[in-house]
Amino acid sequence: MVVPLVAASTSLVFGALSLLHVYWATGGQWASGVVVPELRGNPVSHPGKAVMLFVAFLLGVACVLVGLEADLWRYESVPRWMPHVGTWVIGAVMFVRFVGDFRYVGLFKRVRGTRFARLDTFLYSPLCLVLATSSATVALARAHAG
């Protein structure tokens, strides 16, 4: 009973994050000032609409794959191995994001003291660890279920 709840929650978070990226790509401003790492008060990158939409697409795919892996829904035309491998990959990617780039994001970032860095320490990176763990939990449950 726990795994379906973990899978549904994980899928829901990925879906919400996907929609948030679409919102930003279409000009939404809410929270947009604290999602890009900064150095000396200046953003270190300026992701364009195409990048945000691509990230939204990938997050949407993560939402669907986790749901398929946990049998929250079914598409018979999707080979069984795709959601399984995909869910493992999602978990790995989220764990790599949690660890970070050793400069601006993640557990081992060197640039600290900015608004983004504080949010990354207390929200973004822990969320990535939770998503990595929950994705692995869903994939492991499927592997043990057969």
Where residue 146 falls among pLDDT bands split at 50, 70, 90?
A: low
How do residues 96-140 score in pLDDT, each as one tens digit? 999 999 888 899 999 888 888 898 999 999 999 999 999 999 999
Q: What is the pLDDT of residues 37-89, one digit of tens each?
A: 778 877 787 788 999 999 999 999 999 999 999 888 888 888 888 999 999 99
pLDDT tens digits along 2-20: 678 899 999 999 999 999 9
Quote the CA–CA distance of 13 and 1 in Å, as a whole number: 19
Note if the pTM is more than 0.85: yes
Check pLDDT > 90 for residue 33: no
36 pLDDT higher than 80: no
Minimal CA–CA distance to 15: which of 46, 50, 61, 53?
Answer: 61
Domain layout of the chain by residue ranges: 2-32+44-145
Of 89, 99, 20, give the one whose Cα is nearest residue 55. Answer: 20
